[in-house]
Amino acid sequence: MAELNYHHLRYFWAVAHDGNLSRTAQRLHVSQSALSVQIRKLEEQLGQNLLEREGRRLRLTEAGRIALDYADTVFAAGAELVGTLKGGVGQRRRVLRVGALTTLSRNFQLELLRPLIHRDDVELVIRSAGRRELLAQLQTHAVDLVLSNEALPRDAGADWYSQLVSSQPISVVGPPSADDGPLRFPGDLEGVRLVLPSLESGVRESFDRLLEFAGVRPVILAEVDDMAMLRLVAREGHAYALVPPVVVRDELRAGVLVERCRIPEVRERFYAIFQRRRFPNPLVRELLEAAAGRDNE
């Protein structure tokens, strides 16, 4: 195979980051046709389409995302070489792009990603957004996986996969008081003021079913779909809150909140959503294997 033409690669790199052929051509002071020819030659050499048109913009194919990652490494290495020879320190790193639902527990995200956070050879890019936006980013290879507290139905067109990475118990927590004894579930929740996850939550559905079966009616003060907000509301101390302990881990350790009862029949499940790819990011496998190893401990 002929050696890679780095001139062609640099043109592709510039267009991939701009997403617009005419703007890149103008910036590089070349014609659009000349730029297109250079990129086409690179695609022919690699045997893969790297860019495809989406309206007026160019969008990376899966092979294009892989090529861009390598191009970023190549040109970053060039900059590092200059820095190293001028007295700096250079280092080449792999990138993992993670999408996380805005409502997902930050403590859970930290625990899951901890094996990669302190590695000098890995750069983590974490993006928070709604489910629809993150799945769109997954399809366009802008993220490598999406973290969610709900599994995604299999879709033959999108070829989604949802892998369970953690399962957390659910507890009723509240501020410390003179009566810090445990609550008996579900009977002691009759008439108790509660802050709950929203009705769309799988945890809430299971919790409501258990109370309905027992004929117990708590007083619902608030319904919150954001775990970070639920944590803050729980700290206010005006009611008990239904949360996975991982969400309020720091408050429980500090004694700001106490666990009044655990509900073994209800668990919060966390999933990694990804797609089958011809060129998978090896860091995804490393992350999922580390998560599976923790569950087996």
Q: Is 56 helix (H, G, I), strand (E, B) or coil?
A: coil
Query: Which pLDDT score, from 0 to 100, does residue 239 have?
Result: 85
**Together in a domain, 210 and 277:** no
**Together in a domain, 206 and 261:** yes
Q: Does the residue 130 lie in any domain?
A: yes
**Together in a domain, 16 and 149:** no
Query: Which range of residues forms the domain containing residue 192?
Result: 168-266
**Together in a domain, 233 and 104:** no
Domain boundary residue, one of 85, 113, 146 = 85
Q: Which residues have a Cβ under 8 Å from the Cβ of 243 and sit 6 or more positions away?
A: 170, 171, 173, 197, 227, 230, 231, 234
Q: Does the residue 138 lie in any domain?
A: yes
Cα–Cα distance for residue pair 20/240, rounded to 1 Å: 53
Q: Does the residue 69 lie in any domain?
A: yes
> In 89-149, where do the E strands start and end?
94-101, 122-129, 145-148
Query: Which pLDDT score, from 0 to 100, does residue 91 have?
Result: 54
The b-or-e profile of 164-180 (16+ CB within 10 A means b, else e) is ebbebebbbbbbeeeee
> Could you tell me the CATH number of the domain that includes residue 126?
3.40.190.10
- Residue labelled with tokens 């200059």: 82
Preceding omega of 186 cis (within 30 degrees of 0): yes
**Together in a domain, 251 and 120:** no
Q: Does the residue 1 lie in any domain?
A: no
Q: Does the residue 33 lie in any domain?
A: yes
Query: Which pLDDT score, from 0 to 100, does residue 226 have?
Result: 83
**Together in a domain, 205 and 222:** yes
Per the CB < 8 A criterion, the answer to whether 266 and 170 are in contact is yes
Per the CB < 8 A criterion, the answer to whether 268 and 203 are in contact is yes
Per the CB < 8 A criterion, the answer to whether 168 and 253 are in contact is no
Query: Which pLDDT score, from 0 to 100, does residue 157 have?
Result: 57
Q: Which of 75, 11, 80 is nearest to 41 (CA)?
A: 11
DSSP tag of 247: G
Q: How far is CA 15 from CA 57, 155, 204, 271, in A?
A: 10, 32, 47, 34
| Tally of structural domains, the chain | 3
Query: Which pLDDT score, from 0 to 100, does residue 80 have?
Result: 65
> Could you tell me the CATH number of the domain that includes residue 18?
1.10.10.10
Q: Does the residue 68 lie in any domain?
A: yes
**Together in a domain, 175 and 255:** yes
Q: Does the residue 34 lie in any domain?
A: yes
Cα–Cα distance for residue pair 130/264, rounded to 1 Å: 29
- The tens place of each residue's pLDDT in the chain, 297 residues long, gives 467 888 899 999 999 988 888 888 888 888 889 899 999 999 999 989 999 888 778 889 888 888 888 888 888 777 766 765 665 545 557 889 999 998 888 888 998 999 898 888 888 999 998 888 998 888 888 899 999 988 887 765 567 889 999 888 899 998 887 666 788 899 999 999 999 988 888 888 899 999 999 999 999 999 988 888 888 888 887 789 999 888 888 899 998 899 999 998 888 899 999 988 877 888 999 999 988 877 555
**Together in a domain, 54 and 17:** yes
The token duo for 180 is: 């810090």
**Together in a domain, 16 and 31:** yes
Q: Which of 154, 152, 149 is nearest to 167 (CA)?
A: 149
**Together in a domain, 286 and 240:** no
Query: Which pLDDT score, from 0 to 100, does residue 83 have?
Result: 63
**Together in a domain, 58 and 100:** no
Query: Which pLDDT score, from 0 to 100, does residue 182 have?
Result: 81
Q: Which of 236, 263, 241, 270 is nearest to 110 (CA)?
A: 270
Cα–Cα distance for residue pair 114/291, rounded to 1 Å: 10
**Together in a domain, 111 and 162:** yes
Q: Does the residue 178 lie in any domain?
A: yes
CA angle at 116 for the pair 113 and 120, rounded to the nearest 5°: 150
